[in-house]
Structure 1
Amino acid sequence: MNRRLAAIVALGLVPWSFVLAGDELTLVFAFGLVDPQPFHLTDTYTYVTAYTRGLPRFLRAWPAGAGVYLLALASAVSGVLLDFEDRRVTALLLVLVGLTQLTFAWGFTRRALTVAFPLGTVLSWTIVWWFDWETLRTAVPASS
């Protein structure tokens, strides 16, 4: 597995956001929400099908980002296995993942006694910068 694909896979395994509401911490992963004390996991599918009705838009940004992440992962895997990938598309999808997590964290931060840190934004944008910046830079024509 190449390093770029390994980084994209790792992005799906680390917390995307840390949400501290009062004294309760929730870790937000691509695959679900983890409440450490007491331990509880709400997977993304259950969250979307059971809990999203009537919720503010920012709370739907996280599962949307998880879906976009799956598209980016599929694109990167197809590049490695089938040699069929437009790296610009994968990079754009990862930028969108970062935007969804920024929206998610910003929504929480506007609430009283709640702080959220969008680690997924930092990591996804770092992957794009590290591995695909040159591809993106050369794809956009320089202004004259």
Structure 2
Amino acid sequence: MTTDPAARSAPRSSARRRNLLLVSVLALVPWSVQTFTAGSATLLFPWGLVGPATGSVTTITDFFLRFTMGLPDYILVWPVGVACYLVALGSALSGVLFGREDVRLTAAGLLLAGVTQLEVARGFSVQPGRTAWPVGTVLLWAVAGFLYWSRAGERDAR
């Protein structure tokens, strides 16, 4: 066993960068996919909505600042999920920048963001002619589980 602090911190530094990469990639995948009986789809990302057929993009800020009249409750949890995700991202970023990540906070932020996406998908799915797939829930929970359990194994090894 090495006593050199730099040698011991190298694997942790690499794990922190990996954690940040995993959490960051979640911003690039759709959190919910709504399919319509007419054959079109809408992709809901943490940063906005995309209509692949038309190429339209509506940012989350435009959606909530310009189209706020009469929004159903289930869509209002979308920004709550984004806030939870940002907490997880901030925790992972703190690990890289300062060497201090609370993986429990990172995992909890991702788990809660996943819960909110279940509600978004449920709300969209009860509308006629539309089905919503909570892809983000699965991905957010998978990354949270991986980060938490990989860290738990690290604690057990000490």
- Structure 1 residues 132 and 112, CA, compared in 2 at 3 Å: closer, same or farther? same
* Aligned counterparts of 2:59 and 2:22: Cα–Cα separation in 1: 22
Q: What secondary structure sits across from 2:57 in the alignment?
A: strand
- RMSD value over aligned CA atoms? 1.9
Amino acid at match of 1:70: L
How far did 1:42 drift? 0.2
Q: Does 1:10 align with 2:25?
A: yes
Q: Which entry has the higher C-alpha Rg, 1 or 2?
A: 2
Matches within 5 A, 1:1-144: 2-23=17-38, 24-133=40-149
Matched-pair identity in %: 40
Structure 1 outlier segments of 4+, above 3 Å: 134-137
How far did 1:134 drift? 5.8
How far did 1:136 drift? 7.0
* Aligned counterparts of 1:130 and 1:68: Cα–Cα separation in 2: 18
Q: Which segments of 5 or more consecutive residues in structure 2 lack a partner in the other structure?
A: 1-13, 154-158
Q: Map Cα deviations across residues 34-83 of structure 1 (whole Å, 9 max, x no partner).
A: 01121110001111111133211111122221222112101110011112
Q: What secondary structure sits across from 2:101 in the alignment?
A: coil
The aligned length equals 138
Asked if the contact 2:111/2:141 (under 8 Å) is kept, the reply is yes
Query: What is the TM-score with the length of structure 2 in the denominator?
Result: 0.80
* Aligned counterparts of 1:52 and 1:79: Cα–Cα separation in 2: 36
Query: What is the TM-score with the length of structure 1 in the denominator?
Result: 0.87
